Amino acid sequence: MEDRVKATGREFLPLAFDTSGTPGASFCKFFKKISDIAVDRRGHDRKVFKAKWTIRIAMRMALVRARVGLKRAHTVAGRRAEGKRFRGASTDPLRPAHASPLMEMPNGHRPV
């Protein structure tokens, strides 16, 4: 994708966020550019513009995460109501039993 965008003479900026909602460096660069344009061309107040769009993006991300969680909870509850068990009899609704932990903690503790 990056090559196709560069072939058109444009800059490719992947707008990535981590799972906690923290934006990546390319998003920050993009957001600063958009903020500058809003101030220069439309006369927006910089602080108000950044606050509005930061909140809107954060709320959209929270909504998407909530929908994923609700869908997963509904799936788990539906399977339990039908008397079905997950392969490996996992009781953790967010991670299958065969999944390895993302990181190992000392003394045998596992992150939630």
Residue 110 lies in a domain: no
Evaluate whether residue 32 is within a structural domain. yes
d(CA 111, CA 15): 28
Helix-, strand-, coil-residue percentages of the chain, each rounded to 5: 55, 0, 40
The burial class, CB within 10 Å (0-12 / 13-18 / 19+), for 76 is: middle
**Domain residue limits at 40:** 2-85
70 occurs within a structural domain: yes
Residue 41 falls inside a structural domain: yes
Give a yes or no: residue 26 inside a domain: yes
Q: pLDDT digits over 59-82, tens only?
A: 888 898 899 988 888 888 777 666
- Provide the 8-state DSSP code for 8: T
Model pLDDT, residue 96: 58
Q: Give 10-63 pLDDT, tens digit per residue.
A: 888 888 888 777 888 888 888 999 999 999 999 999 999 989 998 898 888 889
Q: Look at residue 111 and tell me if it is in a domain.
A: no
Does residue 96 form part of some domain? no
Provide the angle, in degrees to the nearest 10, between the axes of the packed helices 46-81 and 25-42.
130
Q: What is the pTM of this model?
A: 0.56
The count of domains in the chain is 1
CA dihedral 76, 82, 83, 88 (to 10 degrees): -40
